[in-house]
Amino acid sequence: MALTATAFGDEFQIVKEKAALHFARNFGIEVEDVTVEILYPPKVAESDLAQADIRIGFDHNTARPGCQTIWLNMQDRAGNVKRYPMTVDVSISVLYPVSREKIERGELITREKIDLQKVTLYRDYVAPVAVAQLLGKVTRQVIAPGRIIREKMVREEPAISRGEKVDIRINRASLSISVPGRILEDARIGDKVAVVLEGSGQKMSGVLTSPETVLVPIH
């Protein structure tokens, strides 16, 4: 466990250990991957620390890295609980999926393109996405080598890509006609899409019902 030494000596070692364990549990990581530095210690005597049941609490709802105030909750043998504020600076090391190479926009994510690396965070924690949730998806943007891959950077692989040919079925009441055209955007089945009719160049909007078909209802 990484417990940074401070100017306050070793009397607060047990407090740092308790705080590190608390953060480790909240982030679902090993206690060895938590570093706690006490910036302003709790105003409590060392003799009281040795005798009390110590627990750590937060002012905020969720754990986060960075500089913050946490609470030392101490219960004495009589069952009385006292709370002491303390300021700590916390960093954590978390396993993240990172790009092994440059991944172009719209490129398919495969296992060969991903490494798992421990990244030390001093603030702005975002939960890592599981590798299995990335595989088979395509990128929304260019991802540089060594960059953390986050869920918002990928999307499901489209059923059809922009510019591909489609059969545009135009339905009006009992009348239905089919004309060739091209789709103007990447899309998945069920997406509302824009298409252009071949020949006339007229643009219309409809719903992708299969990888080859767009249904355009006219009321």
Coil, strand or helix at 59? coil
Q: 140 and 67, same structural domain?
A: no
pLDDT, position 2: 44
What span, in angstroms and rounded, lies between the C-alpha atoms of 73 and 94? 27
Element (H, E) at 18: helix 13-27
C-alpha closest to that of 22 among 120, 88, 75:
88
Q: 127 and 174, same structural domain?
A: no
pLDDT, position 61: 65
pLDDT, position 51: 64
Q: 70 and 25, same structural domain?
A: yes
C-alpha closest to that of 138 among 188, 210, 192, 67:
188
pLDDT, position 5: 36
Q: 115 and 88, same structural domain?
A: no
Domain-terminating residue out of 70, 93, 116: 93
What span, in angstroms and rounded, lies between the C-alpha atoms of 206 and 208? 7
Number of structural domains found in the chain:
3
> Over the stretch 89-100, which tens digit does the pLDDT of each residue have?
999 999 999 999
Q: What b-and-e string marks burial along 118-146, b requiring 16 or more CB atoms within 10 Å of the CB?
A: eeebeeebeebbeeeebeebbbeeebeee
Please name the residue that has the structure tokens 């910036």: 39
Domain-terminating residue out of 117, 136, 156: 156
pLDDT, position 72: 86
DSSP assignment of 162-188:
TT-EEEEEEEETTEEEEEEEEESS-B-
Give the residue numbers spanning the domain of 180: 165-217
Residues of the chain with pLDDT under 70: 1-11, 46-47, 50-52, 59-61
Pair 81, 73: CB distance under 8 Å: yes
Q: 123 and 151, same structural domain?
A: yes
pLDDT, position 84: 87
> Over the stretch 128-159, which tens digit does the pLDDT of each residue have?
999 999 999 999 999 999 999 999 999 988 88
Q: 99 and 89, same structural domain?
A: no
pTM for this predicted structure: 0.68
127 to 58, 82, 132, 171: CA distances (angstroms): 19, 33, 15, 46
pLDDT, position 6: 41
Q: 117 and 146, same structural domain?
A: yes
Q: 77 and 24, same structural domain?
A: yes
